[in-house]
Structure formats: C-alpha cells, structure tokens
Amino acid sequence: MTQNPAAVAATSVASVQAPAPVVLDHVEPPDWWVGMARPELQLMLHGAGIGALQAEIAPMPGVTLTGARRGDSPNYLFLDLRIDAGARPGTLTLRLKRDGQVVLEHPYPLQARAAGSAQRESFGPKDAIYLVVPDRFANGDPRNDQVAGMAEGVRRDDPGGRHGGDLAGLTAHLDYIAAMGFTMLWPTPLSENNSPKWSYHGYGATDFYKTDPRFGSNADYVALSLEARRRGIGLIQDIVLNHIGVHHWWMADLPTTDWINVWPQYTETHHARMTLQDPYAAPSDRKRFSDGWFSPGMPDLNQRQPLVATYLTQMSLWWIERAGLAGVRTDTYSYSDKDFLAAWSRRLKDEYPRLNIVGEEWSPHPAVVSYWQAGKVNHDGYVSSLPSLMDFPLQEALLAGLNQADSHDGGFTRIYEALAHDFVYPDAGNLVLFEGNHDTPRLYSALHEDVDLTRMAWAYLSFVRRIPQFFYGTEILMTSPRHRDDGVVRADFPGGWPGDTVNAFTGAGLSERQRDAQAFLKRLLNWRKSEPLVHGGALMQYAPMANSYVLFRYDAAKGLRGRRLMLVLHKGREPQELALDRFPEMLRGGETATDVITGERRTLGRTLTLPAKSVTVLSIE
C-alpha cells in the first residue's frame, strides 16, 4: 500500500506537538506589601510542570529575585525575592521561561501598608474576648449554605454537621457583641475546610489563603474586621500551624517528600506534652508527641522543613496585614516543632511589635504552660517569643474550686493556690483566662446549672489579673453534657436562624433566669471596659475563710490613699457578716464604696453583709 506524502507530513507535524500551555494553579502568598520590617519574601508557585521552567522578574526598583528552588514534585517552584525599603507599591511581573522563551507572565501586586499597621493595637488585660464558632452563631446569608464543589452541605439536625452560620451572620450581630461589653472577637478558623464530615469547626484547612465559601469570601472577612473596628472590637484570628486537613490540595501532590511527617504506618500523637520538658523523657516519646498525626483526617506538618516554616510564617503575616487583625490565637501550640515556634512568634513580633499572640497549651500544670511564655528562663535553655497562653491551670482550678466544698486544700483554696502560682510566669497578667471554650463542657453545666456559681466565675474572670475570654452563649446559660461532646457544646445560638422561637439577640423567648444572667454579665463587662484598676492595677488576695474568698485590685503607688476594688465570692448558703478588720492592708475603715453591680453606695463599717451564695464587687474611694 502506497502512503500519501501529504498524510505522512501531517502525521510528522502532529507527533511533534507544541508544549501544553503553562498554567499557574496557585501563587502563595497571592500578594504582598512594601515596607515590611523584613525584606525577604518566598513565593510558592504551583502548576503542571513548572518546576522545569526558569524564572525571572521584570525590572522593578528595589525588588530583586535572589534565588529559585524546586520541590521534589515537578509541579512546584519557589522564588526568593528581596523587597528593599525603597521599593514602591506597584505590580511586579513574574516571568517563567522555557529554553529562553517566556511562556508565562504573572502580575504580582506589591501594595502599600495601611497607616500605622506595624504599630497596631492588640488585645490585652483591658479587653474581654468573645469566642464564637461561626457555623453555630448566626446564618446571615442562606445562599451560601450549599456551595458547588464543597463536599458537605447544611444539616442543622446533625450536631456534627454544618448548620449554616457565616460571616454575614457575625457582621449583622456586631452591635449585640459590642453592647454586651466585649472588645475582642475570636472566631474559630474560617479557612476553607473542604472535607465530607466535620468541616464546620475549621481546624482542618484545605486552603490556607481562602475563606471557606460557606462562610463567605476573603472580602467578607476583611469587611467583618473593618465593621468590628468601627464598633470598638478587634478581630483575633485562629491560626493552625500543626496540621492540615487530609483533603488539602497539597495532599494530592506534596511539594517535598518531607512536607508532612510520615511514618511507616499511621501513627497518632499520644498527647504526652510533658515529654517536651521531662528531663527523663524517651526521645521516641518526644517524637511521637510532635510528629504524630492529630487524627487520620489531620496530617501533621513538618515545620523543620524550611519551606514549610517559611510558608506558615508568611501565611500568618499575610492575614494579619490583609485583615487588619488585632491578634492571633494559635491552636495546638506545643505540637509544632518548638524551634520553629520560637522563630515564628519572633518574626510576627518583629513585624508587629505590639501584637499579642496567645497559644493553646492544654495542661493543668503552670510549670508546663509557663515554659512557652516569652521571658521565661527555662531549665533546658529554650527561649520562647510567645507573649500569651491560654490559662488552663487556673481555669481548671476555678471550676473545681466552685464545685467543691471548702477545706484546707479544696474549694476556694484550689483557686487561691492556683493564682498563687503566678510566680512561675514571666507575665501572668497577659494570660487568657476562660470560663469555657469550644472543646470544654459549657460553664453553666459544669457548675451543675447553678446560676450563683456561674456569676462567681464570670466575676472572677472580670476581676483577676488576666485577659478574660467568654464562650458564646454563656451569657444566656447555654447547656451541654458535663462530658466532652463537641457537637452539642457548639450548639446554635438562639435567634441566629430564621424561625428560631427564642432570640437571644433581642431577648424574645428567654427565661427570666437567662435574661437576668445576660444583664449581669453585660453590666459587669461594660463596667470593666473603663476600669483601669482591672486593666493594670496590682492584686492582693486573702486566704479563703468561712466560705468566702476576697481579692483586691489597687494602685501599687498609692495603696490605701488611692481607689481600690474589692471582690468577695461567698458560697455559704446563709447570709454572713464579713469582718473587715481582716483586710488592714486594703481597708482603713469608714470609706465610701459603690456596688459595681447595683450602683448602691454605702459606708464600710466593721462588717460587710454577704447575701447567701453571692458576688460582691465594690469600688472603694
């Protein structure tokens, strides 16, 4: 058979096909700023086959491409840039070349920072934090309940499913949050979690740079931050450094073979956090704690890999700058590599010297928690740069002390002695003390649905040298099992969904007990907002006696000559006369005091009448 010459030529041309077009699937960070404290920036470029390409940048004053490196996957290219102090905002052009020919140009925005960005105000003892689980707070936009391409839709009848709360719902109720007296808002993570189950809580990111579309968009998140600031509320972002969700886009094509911690077979962390401080700990135990996966659905990131460490650091900085954050809360803090954590927090503080960062170290031991706070001289030489931690030891003691009968080592003594351990902390006043959170039983239930004890817990948080944090719904006495049950603990806030018969935002349908509790906390927090003695005053506590526990806040420079605050917690089931001559360092007799809760003014005599199971907060002239 004779072949047609034209057909042969056509076949030859077809066999030498032009290379496929180059497509960038991800460029992260997606943009950056001039004028940052550190000039280095590393870009992750991801797209089919781009690891084989050469990179350059179009000339731009003050910006230099200092290096390029490839991952183990052929689909990644990491570009190292230097952005000098003299660089101006504009668009940087990234060029990818094959055999000397430009095959792709990508415009990369370099923006001007907001005025005062580096010196932004952060959270501290002057603030009260409101923790919310956005999926369970309010559904402001039902149109995003079901989103194409997202594996899980809304099932409000499922405690572990998505319920539809979103950024629109949070933004719509900022006035309520502000009116309650909260000055900081901490939502659990809002990053994309595209998993088929348990995606609502946000702790298994599938895209670090993208707000989950069922919550809204990145623009919606920035708008929430702006609207919150207009109401005197700062936004704290919950950032996860330790792990990702198993459906993260990396997992189909890891940038490097050591991007995540890999074991011969699945190995879960045993949560033995004390191995990091234990002088006798087996190295294999330390490795399992830090490198074990949090769950089968949460691969453990390897922060010892420099590319991972840089990625996580820049991601954190990007959100702080982009969203105008007032602070950062870091989940599962000690599970990440400890040297990375020191460098990560130090870099954030280099860029934002006044930024507060609070880490979660879930331990009942002050010695373990204090190990991670900046300024601590540790036995092993470890130097941390983390300003704040969640105060799990005092929170545990508070619940135990309120529930227990008083004794020489129980009841109020538990709280008194836990607070006395403040000597182990470099900055105890900067710890975040909480009455409950998304991982613990509800306060009201933990205290056996005792309103009086609940008020004592709220008053203690508002008075003691700490940054107080409250969990959404505590103000209306929301309940849960007394054991851990995440889906039920994170129940829907009433009034956040159309058709709710109870509306806690307006008070409609609340019981009298709930309304009274809500009003009590509202009075307490709004008083606290403008009370400098609880923001920075010295503290003196007296050993508990006769079912009562007394603390004072005062100006250390003025002592008895200055104004003082007095908190009395009384658990007795009968009224009691508290002898005031027991407090000579803080009371001189005959002073005028104002009851912070009721507004009643009184003259202090020899005794103070304490109602049964009561909280008394006095401002003493």
d(CA 475, CA 180): 9
Q: Which tokens sit at 358?
A: 């609070």
Cis ω before 575 (30° cut-off from 0): no
Do 381 and 339 contact (CB within 8 A), yes or no?
Answer: no
Give the strand pairing for 327-331 and 234-240: parallel
Give the strand pairing for 129-132 and 184-187: parallel
d(CA 209, CA 587): 55
Task: Compute how many other C-beta atoms are within 10 angstroms of the C-beta atom of residue 195.
Answer: 20
367 membership: H or E segment, kind and range: helix 366-370
Main-chain dihedrals φ then ψ at residue 268, nearest 5 degrees = -95, 145
Which one from 360, 361, 492, 531 is the annotated catalytic residue?
A: 360
- In 90-183, which ranges are E strands? 90-98, 101-111, 129-132
d(CA 261, CA 243): 10
Contacts of 601 (CB under 8 A, 6+ apart): 592, 593, 594, 595
Q: Which tokens sit at 596?
A: 């912070």
Do 327 and 218 contact (CB within 8 A), yes or no?
Answer: no
**DSSP helix/strand/coil, 209:** strand
Contacts of 597 (CB under 8 A, 6+ apart): 520, 523, 524, 615, 617
Q: Is the dihedral of CA 145, 147, 150, 152 positive or negative?
A: positive
Active site residue 258: no
Among residues 565, 563, 542, which one has the least CA distance to residue 552?
A: 565
Do 124 and 467 contact (CB within 8 A), yes or no?
Answer: yes
Which one from 220, 331, 337, 531 is the annotated catalytic residue?
A: 331
What is the DSSP code (8-state) at residue 406? P
d(CA 574, CA 123): 40
What is the DSSP code (8-state) at residue 181? T
> What are the beta bridge partners of residue 129?
184, 469
- In 127-276, which ranges are E strands? 129-132, 184-187, 191-192, 207-211, 234-240
Active site residue 105: no
What is the DSSP code (8-state) at residue 617? E
Contacts of 49 (CB under 8 A, 6+ apart): 20, 22, 74, 75
CA distances to 154, 253, 297 from 197, rounded to whole Å, are: 11, 22, 10
Do 241 and 208 contact (CB within 8 A), yes or no?
Answer: no
**DSSP helix/strand/coil, 196:** coil
Residues serving a catalytic function are 331, 360
